Amino acid sequence: MIDEDELRAQIIDFARMLEPSGLSVNRSGNISARWKDGFLITPTGMVYEHLEPADVVFVRTDGAVAARQRAPSSEWRFHQAAYRDAAEIGAVVHCHSTHATALACTGRSIPAFHYMVAVAGGDSIDCAPYATFGGEDLARNVAAVLAGGRRACLLANHGQIACGADLDAAFALAKDVEELARQYVIALQIGEVKLLDAAEMARVLDAFTRYGRQDQTRD
């Protein structure tokens, strides 16, 4: 079992990977992990290169932030919603990665254009309607799209969110969402995109559930 200091250090490690991974445009993005009766999240307004474990902020599930901490990321409310609604979610990564954001700025979801879309837990990666960053309305919109076992969504005119059992899984999914978005944008530019049907996506989702994610090799 990981202790709190190790988890704080891991959150910082992943936050620092946002930029070199190409996920964080203009230093956007925030990362959290479930901890006890709440979650630990990157603070607002700090350069991630300079973070120390004590800068990571603990937010209780009810939204309470203890005194003598830094202020949490302004976008903590949709992290809170993700943990509240799905016990199996252990970490959340949010970023404004270029292609996911570009699609989200057209209001598009990512449909079943490729079987790997199922990696996010459904036959599409849907776009949550726009609401101002940091607000309850955005958290509500995100919760509605993630309901039913979805693990990622786009945010209209904003970016993307990816969730996972742990930080590794959530970060890997954020990278998958960005790559799928990139492929879909290219396919749209070429012409008519052929989508997989519901029966095929159900087969893929069933296989992913039974065999788990194929992190190392993907056929």
Which two structure tokens, joined as six digits, stand for 146?
């993630």
Residues 157-186, one symbol each (x = binds Zn ion by CB under 5 A, - = not), give --x---------------------------
Closer by beta carbon to Zn ion, 121 or else 159: 159
Count of beta carbons in the 10 Å neighbourhood of residue 44 = 15
Q: How many residues does the chain have?
A: 219
Closer by beta carbon to Zn ion, 73 or else 201: 73
For the bound state, the minimum distance from the C-beta of residue 24 to Zn ion, rounded and expressed in Å, comes to 10
Among candidate residues 6, 19, 75, 200, the one labeled active-site is: 75
Q: Position of tokens 């059992």?
A: 165
Of the candidates 176, 161, 42, the one whose C-alpha atom is nearest the C-alpha of residue 96 is: 161
For the bound state, the minimum distance from the C-beta of residue 75 to Zn ion, rounded and expressed in Å, comes to 5
Of the candidates 188, 195, 21, the one whose C-alpha atom is nearest the C-alpha of residue 118 is: 195
For the bound state, the minimum distance from the C-beta of residue 172 to Zn ion, rounded and expressed in Å, comes to 19
Instruction: Report the residue number whose CB is nearest to Zn ion.
Output: 159
How many whole angstroms separate alpha carbon 188 and alpha carbon 126? 17
What is the DSSP code (8-state) at residue 20?
T
Q: Is position 52 annotated as part of the catalytic site?
A: no
Q: Which range, of 15-23, 47-55, 154-162, 191-199, touches Zn ion by CB under 5 A? A: 154-162
The residues of the shown chain that bind Zn ion, judged by CB under 5 A, are 159
Show which residues are catalytic. Answer: 75
